[in-house]
Amino acid sequence: MRFVVRVTPNAKETAFFMRDGVFCCRLKAKPLEGKANRELEETLSEALGKKVKIVRGAKSREKTCETDANEDDLKKIFDAGVAEPGQKGQ
């Protein structure tokens, strides 16, 4: 499935959340040399247990991602506010 994430790089901590029905995330990484994109893919992949890949918007704050996970799995991650790699739904 494909989904859109609104990204804020260079944040104090990495966190996922929903705002007005939109998937949003703050990333510690700076938007330099693809670091924030890698952090988004790696952190979401680890939290979901499925590979996540950015398929559109690599240089934009609004990214279209693709994964084998379903929408319910995504909502659980974003509703739980998963933060930092290795922390599943807390």
Domain segments of the chain: what residues? 2-80
- Longest CA span, the chain: 32
- Whether residue 83 is predicted with pLDDT greater than 80 in this model: the reply is no
Q: Which CATH class is domain 2-80?
A: alpha beta
CB neighbour list of residue 2: distance below 8 Å, 6 or more residues apart: 55, 64, 65, 66
pTM score: 0.84
pLDDT tens, position by position, 22-75? 999 999 999 999 999 999 999 999 999 999 999 999 999 999 999 999 989 888
What pLDDT, on the 0 to 100 scale, is given for residue 82?
63
